[in-house]
Chain A
Amino acid sequence: EAQVTQNPRYLITVTGKKLTVTCSQNMNHEYMSWYRQDPGLGLRQIYYSMNVEVTDKGDVPEGYKVSRKEKRNFPLILESPSPNQTSLYFCASGGLNSPLHFGNGTRLTVT
């Protein structure tokens, strides 16, 4: 089954404690991306990757890092989380002729 898998689904952490949200896709897509969803703001792009070792900033990249060492994985890293990063995060993958497929989301709370 074609899918994008994110882990964990829920995460509660404290300010400043580094965390990683993993994302993996089994569709051999070259393109992967991270979005965050906030009330009243919709989904906004954080980072994207066109291929292995190729990443770039989206609209709201501050406070986040990503890496793309393998085609299937695209982890989102928060080196020093802050309360304003409390949000619902979605990983997505797609190809040139394929609409974006989204994972089921990670709800992050930073206290």
Chain B
Amino acid sequence: DQQVKQNSPSLSVQEGRISILNCDYTNSMFDYFLWYKKYPAEGPTFLISISSIKDKNEDGRFTVFLNKSAKHLSLHIVPSQPGDSAVYFCAAMVRGGSNYKLTFGKGTLLTVNP
């Protein structure tokens, strides 16, 4: 049973436009959500996170939105740059437990075209 789903395996956008990556989850116990970016031959790199008590978190060009009632979150990148081309993983966790386990989606490959 996949608890975190990224239904779009890939996304292609033009440089300067907005990239929107989506993620859905099924486990209502998740209370902390993260986005990681991964380049080939490197490990995932933390990008931005959001707690379940918030509905928006912004960091420069990156904004994450959380809709708890819909169990949906999205990552907005504005403006998109060619260097943003990477695989983006959505991840979720239950804070306060004995395991800081991240449950990952399968990832979305973002390609930003010059």
**Interface pair B44/A42, CB less than 8 Å apart:** no
Q: Contacts A41-B106, A42-B107, A43-B89 given: A48-B44 contact, CB under 8 Å? A: no
List the A residue with the shortest CB-CB distance to B49.
A99
The complex places the Cα of A50 from the Cα of B97 at a distance, in Å, of 11
Q: Is A101 an interface residue (CB 8 A)?
A: yes
**Interface pair A33/B41, CB less than 8 Å apart:** no
Interface residues on A, range: 20 to 34
Q: Is B25 an interface residue (CB 8 A)?
A: no
A contact set with B: CB distance below 8 Å = 4, 31, 33, 40-45, 48, 50, 56, 58-59, 90, 92, 94, 96, 99-105
In the assembled complex, which residues on chain A have CB atoms less than 8 Å from the CB atom of B104? 42-44
In the assembled complex, which residues on chain B have CB atoms less than 8 Å from the CB atom of A100? 46, 100, 102
The complex places the Cα of A59 from the Cα of B41 at a distance, in Å, of 24
